[in-house]
Amino acid sequence: MKISLTTELDASLEEAWDALHDPDVFQKVSAPFLRFRADAATGFPDRWKSGNTYVVHASALGLIPMGSQEINPTTTNEGMRREFRDNGRGLTGALAAVSSFQHTMALEPSGVGPTTLHDTLEFQAGILTPFMWLGFRLFWAWRHAKMRSLARYWRSADATRWDSRYSGKAMWSGKANAALEKAVEGLTTSHALDVGAGEGGDALWLAEQGWNVTATDLSLQALKRGEAERQSRVTRDHLPRMIRWITLDAVTDPLPTPPAQYDLVLSFFGHGPTEMRHGLWKAMAGVVAPGGRLVIVGHSPRDVDAGVQRPPLEMMFDAAELREFFASRASSLRVESWQREQPGPEGEPVMVADVVAIIQF
Ligand SMILES: C[S@@+](CC[C@H](N)C(=O)[O-])C[C@H]1O[C@@H](n2cnc3c(N)ncnc32)[C@H](O)[C@@H]1O
């Protein structure tokens, strides 16, 4: 008999994948209905390893012994889909009644921010199968509710920090950045990747021009706002906007596929320590299609003199840094300073500048 359940988890694909490998998470989502004890004297491993076999002892509510079972994880990791399969079997006690057991947990981005877990259990327990089905079905609903509530603890410290920044009122204007239209001038609309898309002002504008957009950000809350705005615009004018929203850390996680490469990759105001921004630039350069364009825009370090609020100087970059970084990686490189007006501390108009790099590969 089979049980299939699908759940949306408020974590990135990599964070959720990591959690599925964590024996602590396995125990937390099972408690208090089933409690597990490792057979090994050394206790549970730090991480389940694909290809290994683990023996655990189970008890209902921590009181009634249920016997022992094997956990035999095998994992696959293809593109944006991760699969964790356990074909463990019951060894002793009531668990030995389960003659076949195939549990598959597949993860993939939902496309609207969270990560989707497709969870399937197929098992046989002879004449006990229908009774066990009921027990497993209730237990599976519990596990999913627990996973949903635990997911926010799987988030990285940086993601949690950005999520809390996006939990108050809107951070940005919702409009496209001033430099965007000029930076993509002359391009034929195709696949675009926005890295650090925030609330999605640029992604929405690109989609409205006909781009098929993948908008990524460390903050899931920011992307949820982007998707809510997309839905409300579509409801208003019935014009489709092709955007998938994927939460990830662009420095450490693989960038989304398909496509394998994008004709336009952009990062607006991806400020951070040198190591972080260089990691970001390297990752982005790696997914630009031959002949494609990478656009990087930052606040000019000189804006600090204009009295407007800016990230600390060590988080910003200038034209020289961009030129040096991309000189040997790109086929052509244009780095310019583009002026624009923004409200100053008293609301008065102030001239500021963006450092704009247009990089062809
Ligand atoms: C200053 S905001 C800019 C947002 C948007 N590009 C805009 O111009 O409105 C920077 C964004 O980068 C995101 N971010 C920071 N580090 C990141 C990382 N390692 N990977 C992906 N996004 C990141 C933050 O969550 C934030 O939304």
Mutate to test the pocket of ligand 1, among 269, 274, 296 (most ligand atoms within 8 A of CB): 269
Name the residue with the closest Cα to ligand 1, atom 19: 249
Burial label, 207 (beta-carbon count in 10 A; 0-12, 13-18, 19+):
buried
In sequence order, the 6+-apart residues with CB closer than 8 A to the CB of 264 are 184, 187, 190, 191, 192, 193, 206, 211, 292, 293, 295
Q: Is the CB of 172 under 6 A from ligand 1?
A: yes
Side-chain half-sphere exposure of 174, counting CA atoms within 13 A = 10
Residue 346's pLDDT is what? 82
Residue 42 one-letter amino acid = T
8 Å CB contact between 342 and 306: no
How much distance in Å is there from the Cα of 196 to the middle of ligand 1? 3
Q: Is the CB of 250 under 6 A from ligand 1?
A: yes
Q: Looking only at Cα atoms, what is the longest distance across the chain? A: 78
In sequence order, the 6+-apart residues with CB closer than 8 A to the CB of 197 are 203, 215, 216, 217, 222, 223, 226, 245
What are the extents of the domains in the chain?
Answer: 2-154, 160-360
User: What are the b/e assignments for 109-140, b being 16+ CB within 10 Å?
Assistant: bbebbbbbbebbbebebeeeeeebbeebeebb
For 55, the token pair is: 């023996």
How much distance in Å is there from the Cα of 307 to the middle of ligand 1? 23
Name the residue with the closest Cα to ligand 1, atom 1: 269
Residue 62's pLDDT is what? 86
Mutate to test the pocket of ligand 1, among 12, 162, 216 (most ligand atoms within 8 A of CB): 162
Q: Is the CB of 222 under 6 A from ligand 1?
A: yes
Q: Is the CB of 177 under 6 A from ligand 1?
A: yes
Q: Is the CB of 217 under 6 A from ligand 1?
A: yes
Q: Is the CB of 23 under 6 A from ligand 1?
A: no
Residue 197's pLDDT is what? 98
Torsional sign, CA 344, 349, 351, 355 = positive
User: What are the b/e assignments for 17-40, b being 16+ CB within 10 Å?
Assistant: bebbbbbebbbbbbeeebbbebee
Name the residue with the closest Cα to ligand 1, atom 17: 218
Residue 307 one-letter amino acid = G
Residue 101 one-letter amino acid = F
Residue 263's pLDDT is what? 98
How much distance in Å is there from the Cα of 270 to the middle of ligand 1? 5
Pairing between strand 81-86 and 73-78?
antiparallel
Beta bridge partners of 358: 295, 334
Q: Is 205 helix (H, G, I), strand (E, B) or coil?
A: helix
Name the residue with the closest Cα to ligand 1, atom 16: 218
How much distance in Å is there from the Cα of 294 to the middle of ligand 1? 16
Q: Is the CB of 198 under 6 A from ligand 1?
A: yes
CATH number attached to the domain at 160-360? 3.40.50.150
In sequence order, the 6+-apart residues with CB closer than 8 A to the CB of 188 are 263
Residue 306's pLDDT is what? 84
Q: Report how far Cα 216 is from the mean position of its chain's Cα atoms.
A: 7
Rg (CA), the chain: 25
Q: Is the CB of 196 under 6 A from ligand 1?
A: yes
How much distance in Å is there from the Cα of 242 to the middle of ligand 1? 20
Q: How far apart are CA 313 and CA 297, in angstroms?
A: 15
**How far, in Å, are 20, 115, 154, 324, 350 from residue 150 at the CA level?**
12, 13, 7, 43, 45
How much distance in Å is there from the Cα of 267 to the middle of ligand 1? 8
**Under CATH, which architecture does the 2-154 domain have?**
2-Layer Sandwich (3.30)
Name the residue with the closest Cα to ligand 1, atom 27: 198
Residue 173's pLDDT is what? 81
Residue 276's pLDDT is what? 96
Q: What is the pLDDT along the chain (361 residues), one digit of tens a residue?
A: 999 999 999 999 999 999 999 999 999 999 999 999 999 999 999 999 999 999 999 999 888 999 999 999 999 999 999 999 999 888 999 889 888 999 999 999 999 999 999 999 999 999 989 998 999 999 999 999 999 999 999 999 999 999 999 998 888 888 999 999 999 999 999 999 999 999 999 999 999 999 999 999 999 999 999 999 999 999 999 999 999 999 999 999 999 999 999 999 999 999 999 999 999 999 999 999 999 999 999 999 999 888 899 999 999 999 999 999 999 999 999 999 999 999 887 888 999 999 999 999 9
Residue 346 one-letter amino acid = E
Q: Is the CB of 200 under 6 A from ligand 1?
A: no
